[in-house]
A and B are shown apart, each in its own frame.
Chain A
């Protein structure tokens, strides 16, 4: 039905997260119909990203330099290190605009069932960073799943002998959230982590 080139494009687009064969076909058709405004700039951008983007050798972030902009920045607080599972978690933290420390991307979370052990995570690189002695506080920003929490405790065990404070993101009532809509577990966590009203 389609030319082999279009069929190949549809196959590739269908593999993207959130897309399937039908939306892959729609995306392919949209790109072809909008050749100048979307298809050509997109193809150039893909080539450029493939050529230039590297994994930061310090934190695991993605950047066009081997040391990413966050690690190079003199304005970031070197005493704070936030541990995240994946780069998209780092991006989420950065979107908030309220964290000014450095990051360390583990590259996943511990999961025996998925065959991800400590050897698959960048824990040795993390320990090497901590050895330099500049970090005073490690912030665990890992998900509240079994894997995320197991990883948080595991990493905390590895660094607890050092003179470093270990903290984790608070769990509880989201901004703008109504109590009535929260599940019992979230309310219970929020109550345990309650703070004085200043």
Chain B
């Protein structure tokens, strides 16, 4: 358990939390933008325009201020502008935090490679992608996440793991090592390999990495759950829990005993795993259950509107968690989220974001739904990858 876990964020602590906001964004050869520049102040940003204008592309550019593939999970070669001769692209921001920071990321390659490397520069020095999380946290919600609770368990696990990874970057390494060892074992079983020692070593790795994954998911939820429903409005209280063989073993045993039991179960399920692939037990089989506390029911049986509110509630709680851990405000990217909320819920969301003091980036086709934000936000209309600033009184 990490120090300070389970402690709810007191509003009085907010004064220790630093602001972090985008003061300027420049894009070159990125998605539908040839050259683009936007300057902003600390307030939230509203991007409006017709479909295909390039609003989500701006959010995607900002999502690349985190390690990984951004909010569309795209390849580095997919970001270059369609129709461009060059594979090179760049996203550059001036960020105001404790100090002014220049962050740039993109592909700068002389060759047209199948999967070029994304370079990150912080204050003009080349840095590893993981260094980004030392400067900025970016959280997002997109329309693709709307059906999260109706999708299979795999999608919900991926959602949870992404949340865990944004707080604990080492989680990604554990997931990678676990899945890689699992695939290696599956291949050996499928081929009927007689290399028992090799399989045993892989199973030991799977058990070790599996327990590390379980532990980080558990620590994360123990911190997130108390922060759900603690905002200034009526976003519903959510309880996220994990169910599975491994989770129940870990509840009743020490980590070492659970790891040994997991390894034994892999040994015992070899025959079955050979037939059906994968592994019968493990963190890849964990069920993620999201519970609407006030309504006393699980998310999958909630209405579409309730599900959206639950999802936003989780994101707001995650925002508070990041503020607690990093002592800085994350950027929020809300793609077409507001349009699908009723007026009351919309007002609550605006109120929550104002209370958190974060810079949120909203997109939508209809400017009028953002008008309640008034001067608390800055409005930009986008038309065919060009931006026309418009001040709302």
Quick one: which of B112, B169, B177, B202 has the most chain A CB within 10 A? B202
Where chain B touches its partner, the secondary structure class is helix
Minimum distance in angstroms from A6 CB to a CB of chain B: 19
Which one, B53-61, B190-198, B256-264, B289-297, is touching chain A?
B190-198
Chain B residues positioned under 8 Å from A149 (CB to CB): 205
| Bound CA–CA A188/B282 (angstroms) | 24
Minimum distance in angstroms from B36 CB to a CB of chain A: 27
Chain B residues positioned under 8 Å from A122 (CB to CB): none
Chain B residues positioned under 8 Å from A110 (CB to CB): 198
Q: A20-B111, A111-B184, A146-B184 are in contact. Are A154 and B197 (CB under 8 A)?
A: yes
Residue of B nearest to A110 (CB): B198
Q: Please state if B113 and A20 are interface contacts (CB–CB under 8 Å).
A: yes
Chain B residues positioned under 8 Å from A20 (CB to CB): 110-113
Minimum distance in angstroms from A108 CB to a CB of chain B: 14
Q: Please state if B111 and A117 are interface contacts (CB–CB under 8 Å).
A: no
Chain A residues positioned under 8 Å from B185 (CB to CB): 112
Q: Please state if B201 and A112 are interface contacts (CB–CB under 8 Å).
A: no
Q: Please state if A22 and B198 are interface contacts (CB–CB under 8 Å).
A: no
Q: Please state if A21 and B111 are interface contacts (CB–CB under 8 Å).
A: yes
Where chain A touches its partner, the secondary structure class is helix
Q: Please state if A117 and B205 are interface contacts (CB–CB under 8 Å).
A: no
Q: A117-B195, A118-B195 are in contact. Are A150 and B201 (CB under 8 A)?
A: yes
B187 at the A interface (CB under 8 A): yes
Residue of A nearest to B130 (CB): A183
Minimum distance in angstroms from B236 CB to a CB of chain A: 34
Q: Please state if B197 and A157 are interface contacts (CB–CB under 8 Å).
A: yes
Q: Please state if A112 and B191 are interface contacts (CB–CB under 8 Å).
A: yes
Residue of B nearest to A153 (CB): B201
Q: Please state if B170 and A184 are interface contacts (CB–CB under 8 Å).
A: yes
Minimum distance in angstroms from A46 CB to a CB of chain B: 24
Q: Please state if B198 and A118 are interface contacts (CB–CB under 8 Å).
A: yes
B173 at the A interface (CB under 8 A): yes
Minimum distance in angstroms from A180 CB to a CB of chain B: 9
Chain A residues positioned under 8 Å from B191 (CB to CB): 112
B188 at the A interface (CB under 8 A): yes
Indicate with 1 or 0, residue by residue over B201-236, a CB within 8 angstroms of chain A CB atoms: 110110000000000000000000000000000000
Chain B residues positioned under 8 Å from A150 (CB to CB): 181, 184, 198, 201-202, 205
Indicate with 1 or 0, residue by residue over A136-158, a CB within 8 angstroms of chain B CB atoms: 00000000001101100110011
Number of residues in B with C-beta < 8 Å to the partner? 25
Residue of A nearest to B205 (CB): A146
B327 at the A interface (CB under 8 A): no
Q: Which one, B113, B187, B201, B205, contacts A113 given CB within 8 A?
A: B187
Residue of A nearest to B174 (CB): A185
A38 at the B interface (CB under 8 A): no
Q: Please state if A146 and B170 are interface contacts (CB–CB under 8 Å).
A: no
Q: Please state if B205 and A185 are interface contacts (CB–CB under 8 Å).
A: no
B25-80 interface (Cβ within 8 A of A): none
Q: Please state if B170 and A183 are interface contacts (CB–CB under 8 Å).
A: yes
Chain B residues positioned under 8 Å from A183 (CB to CB): 130, 169-170
Indicate with 1 or 0, residue by residue over A72-110, a CB within 8 angstroms of chain B CB atoms: 000000000000000000000000000000000000001
Chain A residues positioned under 8 Å from B197 (CB to CB): 154, 157-158
| Bound CA–CA A118/B188 (angstroms) | 12
Q: Please state if A117 and B202 are interface contacts (CB–CB under 8 Å).
A: no
B326 at the A interface (CB under 8 A): no
| Bound CA–CA A118/B198 (angstroms) | 9
Q: Please state if A22 and B177 are interface contacts (CB–CB under 8 Å).
A: no
B158 at the A interface (CB under 8 A): no
B183 at the A interface (CB under 8 A): yes
Minimum distance in angstroms from B203 CB to a CB of chain A: 11
B180 at the A interface (CB under 8 A): yes
| Bound CA–CA A153/B188 (angstroms) | 17
Minimum distance in angstroms from A53 CB to a CB of chain B: 29
| Bound CA–CA A110/B195 (angstroms) | 11
Q: Please state if B193 and A146 are interface contacts (CB–CB under 8 Å).
A: no
| Bound CA–CA A134/B111 (angstroms) | 51
A23 at the B interface (CB under 8 A): yes
Other 11 A-B pairs with CB < 8 A, given A146-B181, A158-B197, A185-B173:
A20-B113, A22-B110, A111-B184, A112-B185, A112-B198, A113-B183, A118-B198, A150-B201, A150-B205, A183-B170, A185-B170
Q: Give the interface of A toward B (CB within 8 A).
A: 20-23, 110-113, 117-118, 146-147, 149-150, 153-154, 157-158, 183-185
23 contacts between A and B (CB under 8 A): A20-B111, A20-B112, A21-B112, A22-B110, A23-B111, A110-B198, A112-B183, A112-B185, A112-B187, A112-B188, A112-B198, A113-B184, A117-B193, A118-B198, A146-B177, A149-B205, A150-B184, A150-B205, A154-B198, A158-B197, A183-B130, A183-B170, A185-B170
